[in-house]
Structure 1
Amino acid sequence: MEPLSSKTYKKEFVSHFAGDDSGTLTPRQTPGMFYSKAKPTPVAKPSLLAWSDELAHMLGIAKPTDQQDIDILGGNHVTESMYPYAACYAGHQFGNWAGQLGDGRAITLGEWEAPDGKTWELQLKGAGLTPYSRRADGRAVLRSSVREYLMSEAMHYLGVPTTRALSLVSTGEPVLRDMFYNGNAAYEPGAIVMRVAPSFLRFGNFEMLNARKEIDNLRQLVDWTINRYYPHITGDNKVIDWFKEVVDRTARLMVEWMRVGFVHGVMNTDNMSILGLAIDYGPYSFVDDYDPDFTPNTTDLPGRRYAFGKQPSVGYWNLGALAGALLPLADKDQLVATLETFKDVYWTEYYGMMGRKLGLDQVSQIDRDLISQFEKVLAEIKPDMTIFYQLLIDLPLAVDSEEEVAAYFKQALYNDLTAEQKTILYTLISHYLDRLNTNTIKRSDSQDMMRKANPRFVLRNYLLHQAIEGLEKGDDTLFVKLQAAMKEPYTTKFDEFFQTRPDWASAKAGCSMLSCSS
């Protein structure tokens, strides 16, 4: 295990591409540049609030024992081998072209080589101004930083491809934020998260170069990305083959989000990883009461572009934007044909995933109809998604009445069922039990499959809100407990959290709806 302060960091990205080396932090356009040097702005009193021991062990990073290493995590110290920079990229935000965006408050310090030889980018979020901060301050508040730190790690333990978080540091400085952009700005505690990923490249990096007609730069970035992160792809058609793999990874990521009931909240193309990872945890949420139209992001109202049930189609749309950026390097018809494979990949993977959630030995066309029936009934009765699927695991193999079924699922319900809702639920469960009775695998094997596919614990927004309130008052009890619970989401060990969202949280700011403010 090596301390952060003694490591010799790699800087492959900045060594390969043109960048603005001036170090000037004045917001500006940077044509021709892949990045701009951006040294973190020191803070008053960096203090370590959380550290991911498991991630640190994998990376071979020693837990900070002196202030110098904590200063690195807080942006107060940059070692000689580091080259801190902010990446330049563009994006479509809520479907509209936004032009140059870039890392407005994220600063990559360098690339850490782990004991297994793999290289990981270490990035500080909330470390101060960069040339891409526009009218913002480059900082982050404790509220959003806790959410990013916990969810990055929670998604990993759920088995969802994701960027990771190594540390959470309080800065000792207040940050002014208008949480809902309604004129009620207030000071909040500041914080910084160290994020970790093989790469933070986004669809928007490629969109930026195409938009500026920097075709040589675009070709250079594509070739480098393939050689570094997709080295198995070679040959004359490698751009199409690479795009196909990005399509596949993105489709599978969407399936994983749907499996665990995760809603990203702001699926702009600048928030889409070129490696198929969940990235940029802002106004996200897990689904409580099942609703395909649920969005946790106030900025996404009233259109609900990024609602839970729309995420796969948005993934497809965003891949279309990436395909557009690649037009100078590949045949249009081939790009379009490759993009269209998204649908087959997604639906094949989706039905396979749903088959595991339901404990089916295989998924036939009739089973697909049953899965569609589940979706329709759940959208009608709106049970708690996580609890409903948990109850389904131990469902008795025979039920006698509508009342019996309604009583069995009562723990998952937010409202009493109407007579009509009881009927459709009973009909669904009857069809499901008929199907289970045809399974060619043992009931116990089916249940094991379901337990692995259905999380029992998810980081609900109201729990995060309570943990943040506690931290702001100096009480880390719940924060520490959630860190333990998120590591074992498929066990019953933390069943104190196995309950529906409380009534008080239904309309409370930070529990039901959030904004992009962080």
Structure 2
Amino acid sequence: MQTLSNKEYKNEFVQAFPGDDSGNVKPRQTPGVLYSKALPTPVKKPELLAWSDELAQELGIEKPTDQKDIDVLGGNHVAPSMYPYAACYAGHQFGNWAGQLGDGRAITLGEWEAPDGKSWELQLKGAGLTPYSRRADGRAVLRSSVREYLMSEAMHYLGVPTTRALSLVSTGDQIIRDMFYNGNPAYEPGAIVMRVAPSFLRFGSFEMPAARKETENLQQLVNWTIDRYYPHITGENRILDWFKEVLERTAHLMVEWMRVGFVHGVMNTDNMSILGLTIDYGPYSFLDDYDPDFTPNTTDLPGRRYAFGKQANIAYWNLGCLASAIAPLLPGTQELVAVLETYEEVFYRKYYAMMAGKLGLDAPTEADQDLIRRFSETMATLNLDMTIFFQLLMELPEDVQEQQTVVGHFQPSFYRELETGERELLHTLIKDYQLRRKANSMAQEEAVQKMRENNPRFILRNYLLHQAIEELEKGQNTLFLKLQAALKDPYSSQHDEFFAKRPDWASQKAGCSMLSCSS
């Protein structure tokens, strides 16, 4: 185990590409470079609020015991071998080209080599101004930082590909934020998250040099990315093969989001990881009542571009943007388009296999696809709580037949009383499902175990996060610690105090139902 302040860091990204070494953090365009040096801006009083012991163990990082290491987490100390920088990238935001974006409040300190030889980028989010902060202050508030810290780790334990979070520190500073962009700014406590990933490269990282016609930089970035993160891809068609694997990983990520009911909220191309990870946790949410049209992002209204049921299609659109960016490196676009057009088949193959897992079915047939669609439609029509419904489905006795008994069994997942026709709809679906389960090639116990592995019992609901944040702002961490423990064991019943529907009071409360991009 090594301390954060004494480690010899690697800086291979910085050494590989052209950058702006001036250290000037004045907001500006930075053509010709892929990063700009940006030292963290010191904060008033960094204090460690949370630490991921499991991640630290994997990375070989010793938990901070003195102020010098805590100062690293708060941006007040930079180790001699670090080269702090903000990455330059572009993106399409809400379907429109936004041009240069970049790390506006994130600063990568360096690359940490773990005991197993793998390298991890250590990045501070909320560490101060960079050349890409535009009109913002480069800071993060406790509210958004708690959400990123807890959800990064929650997704990891759910088995969803994600960036990680190592630490959460309070800064002792007050930050002004207009939470809903409605002209009501207020001061909030500041905080910084140290987030960790093999790479924070995004689709927008490739869009930037492509848009500027910096073909040499684009070619170098693609080659470096393949060599470093896709070393198994070789040969003359490796760019196409790489794009195909990025497509596969992205489709897999969308399916995993749907499996656990996660809605990202801001699927801009600058928020799409080139490694197929969940990246940039802002106005996200898990589904409470199942609604394909739900978006947690106030900025996404009224179009709901990034609603739960549209995420797979948006991923395809974003992949199209990535394809356009790398197209100049290929002799033609026909083969690239052909790869892109495989997305629908790849996604649905993965999706139906995932749903079969949630339903405890063996290899899904075409008939099963219709049954799976009916489950989605019924949950949406009846506004059922997704997480609780699948848990109750797993616990449904095989011999239950009467409508009253079936409806009564699923009552805990209802947000309202069902009408007569809705009760019949649910009853018919469950009867057909039970018939299909009897045709399974696997035993009942095996089917239930498959369901148990695919259906989380604990999810970080927004109202729980909101309550934990309110407590932390008052100097209390009881709920925060409970949630931190529960998220590490989401498939068991060990934390059933949280196995409950969203309460009525939270359905419209700010921070519980919807959030803004500033969240």
Q: Partner residue of 1:198?
A: 198
Shift of 1:258: 0.2
Shift of 1:397: 1.3
Q: Partner residue of 2:460?
A: 459
Is 2:140 the partner of 1:162? no
Give me the whole-angstrom Cα distance separating, in 2, the residues matched to 1:314 and 1:394: 35
Show structure 2 runs of 5+ residues with no match: none
Give me the whole-angstrom Cα distance separating, in 2, the residues matched to 1:202 and 1:440: 42
Mean alpha-carbon deviation: is it higher for 73-82 or for 402-411? 402-411
Q: Partner residue of 1:112?
A: 112
Give me the whole-angstrom Cα distance separating, in 2, the residues matched to 1:79 and 1:489: 37
Give me the whole-angstrom Cα distance separating, in 1, the residues matched to 2:333 and 2:364: 35
Shift of 1:394: 1.2
Secondary structure of 1:409's partner?
A: helix
Q: How does 1:105-504 map to 2 (within 5 A)?
A: 105-330=105-330, 331-504=332-505
1:446-467 C-alpha deviation (Å, 9 max, x unpaired):
0000000000000000000000
Q: Partner residue of 1:56?
A: 56
| 8 A contact 2:2–2:62 mirrored in 1 | yes
1:297-329 C-alpha deviation (Å, 9 max, x unpaired):
000000000000000000000000000001101
Shift of 1:441: 1.1
Shift of 1:398: 2.4
Give me the whole-angstrom Cα distance separating, in 2, the residues matched to 1:278 and 1:400: 41
Give me the whole-angstrom Cα distance separating, in 2, the residues matched to 1:317 and 1:52: 35
Shift of 1:404: 1.6
Shift of 1:177: 0.1
Secondary structure of 2:166's partner?
A: strand
Give me the whole-angstrom Cα distance separating, in 1, the residues matched to 2:355 and 2:81: 48
Runs of 4 or more above 6 Å deviation:
none
Give me the whole-angstrom Cα distance separating, in 1, the residues matched to 2:123 and 2:314: 27
Secondary structure of 2:342's partner?
A: helix
Show structure 1 runs of 5+ residues with no match: none
| 8 A contact 1:458–1:489 mirrored in 2 | yes
What residue identity is the alignment partner of 1:403? Q
Give me the whole-angstrom Cα distance separating, in 2, the residues matched to 1:91 and 1:136: 18
Secondary structure of 2:109's partner?
A: strand
1:108-142 C-alpha deviation (Å, 9 max, x unpaired):
00000000000000000000000000000000000
What residue identity is the alignment partner of 1:489? P
| 8 A contact 1:406–1:417 mirrored in 2 | no
Shift of 1:406: 1.2
Give me the whole-angstrom Cα distance separating, in 1, the residues matched to 2:227 and 2:401: 60
Secondary structure of 1:19's partner?
A: coil
| 8 A contact 2:253–2:277 mirrored in 1 | yes
Give me the whole-angstrom Cα distance separating, in 2, the residues matched to 1:174 and 1:398: 59
1:164-190 C-alpha deviation (Å, 9 max, x unpaired):
000000000000000000010000000
Give me the whole-angstrom Cα distance separating, in 2, the residues matched to 1:285 and 1:182: 21
1:459-502 C-alpha deviation (Å, 9 max, x unpaired):
00000000000000011000000000000000000000000000
Q: How does 1:9-28 map to 2 (within 5 A)?
A: 9-28=9-28
1:13-35 C-alpha deviation (Å, 9 max, x unpaired):
00000000000010000000100
Shift of 1:402: 2.1
Give me the whole-angstrom Cα distance separating, in 1, the residues matched to 2:314 and 2:14: 31
Shift of 1:96: 0.3
1:431-451 C-alpha deviation (Å, 9 max, x unpaired):
000101111211111000000
Secondary structure of 1:399's partner?
A: coil
Shift of 1:399: 2.7
Secondary structure of 2:143's partner?
A: helix
Give me the whole-angstrom Cα distance separating, in 1, the residues matched to 2:22 and 2:441: 66
Shift of 1:401: 2.5
What residue identity is the alignment partner of 1:469? E
Give me the whole-angstrom Cα distance separating, in 1, the residues matched to 2:49 and 2:500: 28
Give me the whole-angstrom Cα distance separating, in 2, the residues matched to 1:424 and 1:158: 31
Give me the whole-angstrom Cα distance separating, in 2, the residues matched to 1:334 and 1:213: 22
What residue identity is the alignment partner of 1:182? N
Give me the whole-angstrom Cα distance separating, in 2, the residues matched to 1:450 and 1:338: 33
What residue identity is the alignment partner of 1:322? L
What residue identity is the alignment partner of 1:507? Q
Shift of 1:10: 0.1
Is 2:76 the partner of 1:69? no
Secondary structure of 2:160's partner?
A: coil
Q: Partner residue of 2:518?
A: 517
How does the TM-score come out when normalised to structure 2?
A: 0.99
Shift of 1:403: 1.8
What residue identity is the alignment partner of 1:114? A
What residue identity is the alignment partner of 2:296? P
What residue identity is the alignment partner of 1:428? L
Give me the whole-angstrom Cα distance separating, in 2, the residues matched to 1:168 and 1:352: 37
| 8 A contact 2:394–2:452 mirrored in 1 | yes
% identical aligned pairs: 72
Shift of 1:361: 1.6
Shift of 1:517: 1.0
What residue identity is the alignment partner of 1:474? G
Q: Partner residue of 2:88?
A: 88
What residue identity is the alignment partner of 1:65? T
The alignment yields a C-alpha RMSD, in angstroms, of 0.5
1:354-387 C-alpha deviation (Å, 9 max, x unpaired):
0010000221111111101111111100110000
Give me the whole-angstrom Cα distance separating, in 1, the residues matched to 2:510 and 2:176: 17
Give me the whole-angstrom Cα distance separating, in 2, the residues matched to 1:451 and 1:343: 28
Give me the whole-angstrom Cα distance separating, in 2, the residues matched to 1:488 and 1:94: 35
| 8 A contact 2:401–2:431 mirrored in 1 | no
Residues paired across the two proteins, number? 518
Give me the whole-angstrom Cα distance separating, in 1, the residues matched to 2:440 and 2:362: 6
How does the TM-score come out when normalised to structure 1?
A: 1.00
Give me the whole-angstrom Cα distance separating, in 2, the residues matched to 1:25 and 1:282: 24
What residue identity is the alignment partner of 2:318? N
